[in-house]
């Protein structure tokens, strides 16, 4: 069966066609409109999704050589995300699936990130632990099957990506700054600037990144020479290292506590090359990395989970509305 995946939860309008084994076509339209504002503006996002959604879906149909009538079901992100942005995707998907008389599956965006490492690859061994780390979320989740998710730990304040994006902004990097920080940090000394590892000795699996954000800002205010030249590069490397250290320490503890050896990395920040290297070097862990292009928001991960729900999920209630604050533990 061919499943159409639609993703509009934040600032990417994305669609993909997936047949359960291969992604037949996919496209992402990233909204550059937010760059001047240093963050995603919800109203601008909704309007851009409205403009982009039809062309994006037409593109995947054209690229795959398929017709609308070839689609057997659709999956759409129903949360978490921006309410207006999610509604554009849901309403479009509902119109399409109603007219084609095919099922519509509501997909939890965070759960979709957790399963994205499986796309066009071996099935993930169950149970596994997923570190979902993006611009809005940082969670360690135990996944037992397509319906069972338990949060082991999460950020108590800012998400890891948010810190990179916000401190990056102070250094004049365009939003979102994560990928640029990754690129620049490779030439810097990660030990040059001492920055805090929030909640390192808290004993639990939660994260805190707001202390790092404040410490980074205060450091730059007191030491403006670190806003340019090689010192800037060293500061960026140190900031990235602090984020990577916190994420890896708690992930290792989660695997030990649960007696699980498979760790899945998903979400935009998991595209980070230093994070991937650090985890790859850890002994005794079966690491499943999501390919870079499926780490950030995309339609294939939505189609993939919708396909799984249809084939493994049994009772599926369908989707009637969006839930902007949907938790990763909630299943439609």
Q: List contacts with ligand KG4 (CB under 6 A).
A: 10, 134-136, 161, 164-165, 176-179, 181-182, 267-269, 271-272, 296-297
182 contact, one of Zn ion, ligand KG4, none, CB 5-8 Å limit per kind:
ligand KG4
Which tokens is 9 given? 């939860």
Label residues 37-67 b or e (16+ Cβ within 10 Å = b): ebebbbebbbbbbbebbeebbebbbeebebe
Could you give the CA distance from residue 325 to residue 314 in angstroms, rounded to a whole number?
25
178 contact, one of Zn ion, ligand KG4, none, CB 5-8 Å limit per kind:
ligand KG4
For 129, list phi and psi in degrees, rounded to 5: -110, 135
Most distant CA pair in the chain: distance in Å? 62
Could you give the CA distance from residue 199 to residue 212 in angstroms, rounded to a whole number?
11
220 SS3 class: helix
| Residue whose CB is nearest to ligand KG4 in the complex, by number | 268
Q: Can residue 297 be called a binding residue for Zn ion (CB under 5 A)? A: yes
Closest CB 12 distance from Zn ion, rounded Å: 8
Closest CB 209 distance from ligand KG4, rounded Å: 11
If the CB atoms of residues 116 and 193 are measured against Zn ion, the closer one turns out to be 116
If the CB atoms of residues 97 and 134 are measured against Zn ion, the closer one turns out to be 134
Closest CB 66 distance from Zn ion, rounded Å: 26
Which tokens is 195 given? 């920055």
Closest CB 81 distance from Zn ion, rounded Å: 8
274 SS3 class: helix
If the CB atoms of residues 220 and 247 are measured against Zn ion, the closer one turns out to be 247
Closest CB 237 distance from ligand KG4, rounded Å: 12
Identify the residue whose tokens are 């030439």: 187
Q: Can residue 134 be called a binding residue for Zn ion (CB under 5 A)? A: yes
């Amino acid at each position: 069966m061919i499943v159409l995946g639609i993703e509009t939860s934040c600032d990417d309008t994305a669609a993909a066609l997936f047949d359960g084994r291969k992604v037949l076509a996919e496209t992402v339209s990233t909204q550059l409109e937010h760059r001047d504002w240093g963050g995603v503006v919800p109203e601008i996002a909704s309007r851009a999704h409205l403009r982009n959604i039809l062309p994006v879906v037409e593109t995947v149909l054209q690229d795959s050589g398929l017709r609308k009538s070839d689609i057997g079901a659709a999956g759409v992100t129903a949360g978490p995300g921006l309410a207006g942005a999610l509604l554009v995707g849901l309403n479009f998907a509902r119109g399409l699936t109603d007219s084609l008389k095919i099922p519509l599956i509501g997909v939890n965006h965070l759960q979709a990130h957790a399963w994205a490492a499986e796309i066009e690859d071996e099935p993930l061994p169950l149970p596994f632990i997923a570190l979902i780390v993006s611009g809005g979320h940082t969670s360690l989740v135990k996944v037992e099957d397509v319906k069972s998710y338990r949060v082991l730990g999460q950020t108590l304040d800012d998400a890891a990506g948010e810190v990179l994006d916000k401190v990056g902004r102070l250094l004049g990097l365009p939003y979102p700054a994560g990928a640029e920080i990754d690129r620049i940090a490779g030439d810097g000394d990660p030990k040059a600037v001492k920055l805090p590892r929030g909640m390192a000795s808290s004993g639990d699996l939660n994260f805190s990144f707001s202390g790092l954000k404040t410490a980074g800002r205060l450091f730059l205010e007191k030491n403006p020479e670190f806003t340019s030249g090689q010192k800037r590069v060293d500061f960026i490397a140190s900031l990235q290292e602090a984020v990577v250290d916190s994420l890896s320490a708690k992930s290792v503890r989660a695997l030990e506590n649960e007696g699980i050896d498979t760790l899945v990395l998903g979400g935009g920040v998991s595209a980070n090359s230093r994070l991937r290297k650090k985890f790859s070097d850890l002994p005794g862990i079966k690491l499943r990395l999501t390919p870079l292009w499926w780490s950030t928001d995309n339609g294939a991960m939505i189609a993939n989970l919708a396909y799984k729900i249809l084939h493994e999920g049994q009772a599926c209630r369908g989707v009637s509305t969006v839930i902007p604050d949907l938790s990763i533990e909630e299943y439609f």
